[in-house]
Amino acid sequence: MTRTAGFDRHSGSREMARRVSVGEVEPDHFLEEALARAREADSGTDALGIFLSLSRKGSGGGQVDGLLAGVPVAVKDNLCTRELPTTCASRILEGYLSPFEATVVRRLREAGGRVVGKTNMDEFAMGSSTENSGYRPTRNPRDSARVPGGSSGGSAAAVAAGIVPCAFGSDTGGSVRQPASFCGVVGIKPTYGRVSRYGLVAFASSLDQVGTFGATVEDATRLLQAVAGHDPRDSTSSERAVPDWLGALDSGVEGLTVGVPEEYFTDELDSEVDRVCREALERLREAGARIREISLPHTRYAVPTYYILAPAEASSNLARYDGVRYGVRAPEAESIEGVYEESRTRGFGEEVVRRIMLGTFALSAGYYDAYYGRAQKVRSLIAGDFERVWEAGVDVVFTPTSPTPAFRLGERTRDPVSMYLSDIYTVTANLAGIPGISLPVGAVEGLPVGGQFLAPMWEEARMLGAAHTLEALLEGTPPRGNEAGRNGGGR
């Protein structure tokens, strides 16, 4: 069953903001429509399971002439909000209300945006299918028998179902781009440090990034434009000025050198996904891009490297959930050790426990150098692969986002390794700290296929321009403004 209805994707956030700004509709008009669509999508026997909580009607705020004036936005449930619970889809945080809100949520409101609700996710962002939620799985609006991807599956599904034109997710190893691919929407992971992580519940701090979803490249870019920039409350936040990314969307691909890594087009890639991606590359070539075969030789080590580093950081970050300071507390525990053990056993799901154990082992005495220390060295090698490609004159890299289209619910829940391999093409960007974007480039048997652009650190403008142009080419509309400058203006 396919569930996609709602607003016209071609008149999404930009048109909504215009209509609110000129007074054509009331500031909460689109919020109320989105709330109605959200309730419908999550009701009945075929509920999609997209939201964990919804805002009240009339709970908007901010400017009525801002970049997101009146635009309804879904927020992943690991971003702190004051008036809605922040549970990370975990029973250990059931009902938890944060005393503060994430910087990106505050900036969303300041730009006039409206929070529709908090979206379902894999517990503590650990998963690739949103089946690891402590509450219920999310279904893919394109085919409700299939997963939406993860861990930001609820946010991707909210956009795919036409409830909102854009949404927040988080991307630690592909958790924005992979669900964007599965649901047929756009997902952006910016450069590490470009967007504040203040108020993002930590999974793996050196990898986590707030990202954005959109029905189109422009929608996802508009949300990113509104919230990016330095935040003194995040020590990893860059002081670099944020360029005019919206203005750079029309930069075109004439003369752009697009690298195609041989390690991403192997026998492990579904043959039909391979075909769709190569057809997209041909459209870029026809539009004036130069297509160059390249090599990123350490790609084969990316998944094992990620699944040492991320669980190691998670085991440290999740130590704070002990039943003492906040969250679920086992009432029958008779000692402090009992509080810790019983609260964590009751509150954490199977996948979270698995990763805590993996991470604790990798950091333990006698194994630290063999696992965590070595993984850090391989991470540097993976980043070095990209540096050499940029130095050789490649402007952006193009790859499939995922090796397959969306798989069926329950298909991989008993096979963690198979599930982890869903992120094989996305984890490299997190390990290297570079920006990436996934956009729909075709379909296989009616299921969306995503293509991914990667760019050098801080070069989101170049990546977004290429993605916007490819989006236009695939939709049969001529790309605009090929004569425009590639990097756009600063602000």
55, 129, 152, 175: which one is catalytic? 175
Q: 108 near 154, Cβ under 8 Å?
A: no
In the structure encoding, which two tokens stand for residue 411, read together? 């298909």
410 confidence band (pLDDT: 50, 70, 90):
very high
Phi/psi of residue 235, nearest 5 degrees: -65, -15
What's residue 338's pLDDT? 83
- Provide mean pLDDT across the span 270-288: 98
480 confidence band (pLDDT: 50, 70, 90):
very low
Task: Write out pLDDT tens, residues 291-330.
Answer: 999 999 999 999 999 999 999 999 999 999 988 887 788 8
Q: 187 near 438, Cβ under 8 Å?
A: yes
Q: Please determine, for residue 124, whether its predicted confidence score (pLDDT) is greater than 80.
A: yes
- Provide mean pLDDT across the span 220-242: 98
- Provide mean pLDDT across the span 211-225: 98
What's residue 39's pLDDT? 97
What's residue 61's pLDDT? 56
No. of H helices and E strands in the chain?
Answer: 15, 11
Q: Please determine, for residue 43, whether its predicted confidence score (pLDDT) is greater than 50.
A: yes
Beta strand segments in 221-289, E: 257-261
What does the DSSP 8-state code read for residue 364? S
60 confidence band (pLDDT: 50, 70, 90):
low
What does the DSSP 8-state code read for residue 130? S
- Provide mean pLDDT across the span 443-465: 98
- Provide mean pLDDT across the span 205-234: 98
Which has the minimum average pLDDT: 53-67, 106-120, 236-250, 299-313? 53-67
Q: What is the mean pLDDT of the chain?
A: 93
Q: Please determine, for residue 119, whether its predicted confidence score (pLDDT) is greater than 70.
A: yes
Is residue 477 left, alpha or beta, with left meaning phi > 0 and alpha meaning psi from -120 to 50? beta
What's residue 485's pLDDT? 34
In the annotation, is 151 catalytic?
yes
Model-level pTM?
0.94
H or E segment and range at residue 456:
none
Task: Give the whole-number percent of the chain exceeding pLDDT 70.
Answer: 93
Tracing tokens 């298909």 back to the chain, one arrives at: 411
In the annotation, is 133 catalytic?
no
429's CB contacts (< 8 A; 6+ apart) are 174, 177, 189, 435, 436, 454
Q: Please determine, for residue 59, whether its predicted confidence score (pLDDT) is greater than 70.
A: no
User: From the CB of residue 420, how many other CB atoms can be counted at a distance below 10 Å?
Assistant: 18
Q: Please determine, for residue 487, whether its predicted confidence score (pLDDT) is greater than 80.
A: no
Q: 286 near 279, Cβ under 8 Å?
A: no
13, 129, 151, 422: which one is catalytic? 151
Q: Please determine, for residue 99, whether its predicted confidence score (pLDDT) is greater than 50.
A: yes
Q: 164 near 389, Cβ under 8 Å?
A: no
Beta bridge partners of 442: 449
Q: Please determine, for residue 11, whether its predicted confidence score (pLDDT) is greater than 90.
A: no
* C-alpha–C-alpha distance, residues 273 and 265, integer Å: 10
Q: 149 near 139, Cβ under 8 Å?
A: no
What's residue 2's pLDDT? 56
What's residue 486's pLDDT? 33
What's residue 343's pLDDT? 84
Single-letter amino acid code for the residue at 82 = R
13, 55, 76, 98: which one is catalytic? 76
What's residue 10's pLDDT? 55
In the structure encoding, which two tokens stand for residue 374, read together? 């070595």
What's residue 477's pLDDT? 58
Q: Please determine, for residue 205, whether its predicted confidence score (pLDDT) is greater than 70.
A: yes
* C-alpha–C-alpha distance, residues 250 and 191, integer Å: 21
Q: Please determine, for residue 214, whether its predicted confidence score (pLDDT) is greater than 80.
A: yes
Q: Please determine, for residue 488, whether its predicted confidence score (pLDDT) is greater than 90.
A: no
Q: Please determine, for residue 483, whether its predicted confidence score (pLDDT) is greater than 70.
A: no
Helix axes 271-286, 460-474, angle to 10 degrees: 100
Phi/psi of residue 75, nearest 5 degrees: -125, 125
HEC profile for 22-33?
Answer: CCCCCCCHHHHH
In the annotation, is 238 catalytic?
no
* C-alpha–C-alpha distance, residues 408 and 416, integer Å: 15
